[in-house]
Each structure stands twice: as C-alpha cells, then as structure tokens.
C-alpha cells in the first residue's frame, strides 16, 4: 500500500524508474528523504527496483505510466496527485535509444524516439506544472545526454531527440522562471546501465556505413570500461534540485563534462575533417584532440 508523504517531505516523481539512472536516482532520492514515486510501464518490471529499495532500507512508491502514451500519462499522474496531493520535483528520465545513420533511419524510427524522448518529457511536465504554478515552486529535471550537445556518430534519431529535448528544456526554463519553477538539464555521458547491452542495433542496410557503426561501438566500448555508476547521476540530480545556486545544465558521467565543454570550441572544419579520417588509429587521435576523450580500447 503506498505511503502518504509528510507535510514537509518533498514529493519527487522519477519516470522510467525500473532500471539504470532512473532506478539509482529513485533509490538515492528516497534515501535523501524524498517521498519518491517511480513510474514504470508495468508493475511486473519493478521487482529489481523494489528489491534494491528494500536492501537500502527505504521505500519507493510505484505508479504505472507509459510516457509514450497520452492516456497512460494522464491516468498515471492523476493517480499520483490523488495519492500525494502534490509533486514538488519531476525527473524526466524515461527514454529510448535509436541507432542509425540518417540515410538508414526510417521515419517511423524518428517518430518513435521523438515520441518517447521529447513528447514523453513534455507530457509528464504538463501533468505536474499546473499545481507547481499554483504553489509558485517546483523543479523539472530533464535528462538529455552528451549526445544532446555532440552529434554522436550513427545515432541520428537519438541525437535528434536529445537535441530537441535540450531546446524544449531551455525554452521551458525561461517560460517557467516567472512562476518560481526551476528547470535543470542533466547531460550524462556513459553511465553504468543495462541499456548498453540492449543498444546493439547497427542497420548498415546500404552497406556504406560499416565504419560509422564500428566507430560508434568503439566509443561506447571505451566508455563502458570507465562508465560512471548511475548513482552519481542521482547525486547530481539531488544537487540540481536542492542547490541555492542553480545552473541550467549539468554534464555528468564518463565523457560528459569533456565533450559538453569542447562542443562550442570545435571548428566546423575539424568536425567535418573527423568524418573523413580513414584509419581508425588516426580517427582516435583526432577524436581525442578535438573532443578531449580517449576512445582507444587497446
């Protein structure tokens, strides 16, 4: 049976709480004193979250909400607000990947990824913003990616969605500032998560982009070797929510800070030249020079 939050206890909703960053964040925030409601698409998928919460000696409430579906979000957040009376902080974590170069990305793949990663975040924000405006306080935390700053190779649908969510978030931050509502953009690099084991699509349907897909996997292989524990992202989210000196963007995890900070310094000429390098070793050398990350795996 879901518990009732104390009057002075912040109520925080974490979407996609059944795994990875979402699960780690839900458990971390609950341990920090938040009344956490984690959304999942099915209660059957929450066993590991509940087991981890039990191990930590904390409680995470659950609610069913598929962020890709209008009716599911409306019903799920109506249930949450009915239970808790308010939502102080929303962490828009739920998302999907999308590997493919532009030429090989069907329109329905773009639409699916956008629906979950962009429309999903706005659906959830729309569900909680009226009561935040009424109170004159609240936080919307949108988890984008370092790929929302750098066009990661061979992930066109994912990159496009995360760039779009960065734009939505930036606009939302200005829109909501008069109401005392804070927006924080969290930009993870490579973080320990089961998502990478699932993210193995390499369409190469034309046969022309084998090198692009290989280099994408090389980047993630290097990142996984040094991947940041997901709880570190949860700690950054807690800071973004509680700090008296807020920022709009928070790069975090392996490669996040380096690549986000380098983006605005890379010349167009260097960016285009990187795409023409044929030798993998020379590619890794140039990648490190212009992006500050060593992607060599041996």
Pairing state between β 138-143 and 89-92: parallel
Nearest-CA neighbor of 229 among 17, 2, 7, 20?
20
For the cut 80, the answer to whether the pLDDT of residue 192 exceeds it is yes
Per residue in 132-145, pLDDT tens?
999 999 999 999 99
Tokens of 192: 């320990």
Given pLDDT bands bounded at 50, 70 and 90, which one contains residue 6?
confident
Q: Which 3 state secondary structure label does DSSP give 269?
A: helix
Query: What is the rounded CA–CA span in Å between residue 49 and residue 60?
Result: 8
Is the predicted pLDDT of residue 170 greater than 90, yes or no?
yes
Q: Is the pLDDT of residue 67 over 90?
A: yes
The catalytic site residues sit at: 158
Cα separation, 206 vs 145, in Å, equals 28
Q: Of all helices (H) and strands (E), which one includes residue 224?
A: helix 210-225
Q: CA-CA distances (angstroms) from residue 160 to 94, 111, 114, 183, 257?
A: 16, 11, 8, 21, 20
Lowest-pLDDT range of 101-105, 119-123, 129-133, 258-262: 258-262
11-197+228-264 adopts what CATH topology? Rossmann fold (3.40.50)
The structure's pTM equals 0.91
């Amino acid at each position: 049976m879901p518990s009732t939050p104390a009057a002075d206890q912040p109520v925080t909703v974490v979407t996609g709480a059944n795994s990875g960053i979402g699960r780690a964040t839900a458990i971390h925030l609950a341990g920090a004193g938040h009344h956490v409601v984690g959304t999942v698409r099915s209660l059957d998928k929450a066993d590991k979250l509940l087991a981890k919460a039990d191990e930590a000696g904390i409680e995470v409430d659950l609610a069913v909400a598929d962020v890709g579906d209008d009716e599911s979000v409306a019903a799920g957040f109506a249930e949450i607000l009915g239970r808790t009376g308010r939502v102080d902080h929303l962490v828009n974590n739920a998302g999907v990947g999308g590997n493919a170069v532009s030429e090989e990305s069907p329109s329905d793949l773009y639409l699916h990824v956008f629906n979950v990663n962009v429309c999903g975040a706005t659906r959830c924000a729309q569900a909680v913003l009226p009561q935040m405006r009424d109170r004159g306080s609240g936080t919307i935390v949108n988890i984008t990616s370092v790929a929302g700053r750098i066009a990661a190779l061979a992930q066109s649908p994912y990159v496009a969605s995360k760039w779009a969510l960065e734009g939505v978030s930036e606009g939302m931050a200005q829109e909501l500032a008069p109401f005392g509502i804070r927006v924080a953009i969290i930009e993870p690099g490579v973080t320990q998560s089961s998502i990478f084991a699932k993210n193995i699509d390499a369409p190469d349907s034309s046969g022309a982009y084998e090198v692009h897909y290989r280099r994408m996997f090389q980047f993630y292989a290097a990142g996984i070797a040094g991947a940041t524990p997901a709880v570190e992202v949860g700690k950054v989210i807690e800071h973004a929510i509680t700090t008296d000196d807020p920022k709009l963007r928070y790069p975090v995890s392996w490669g996040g800070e380096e690549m986000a900070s380098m983006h605005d310094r890379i010349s167009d000429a260097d960016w285009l030249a990187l795409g023409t390098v044929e030798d993998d070793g020379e590619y890794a050398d140039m990648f490190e020079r212009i992006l500050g990350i060593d992607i060599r795996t041996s």
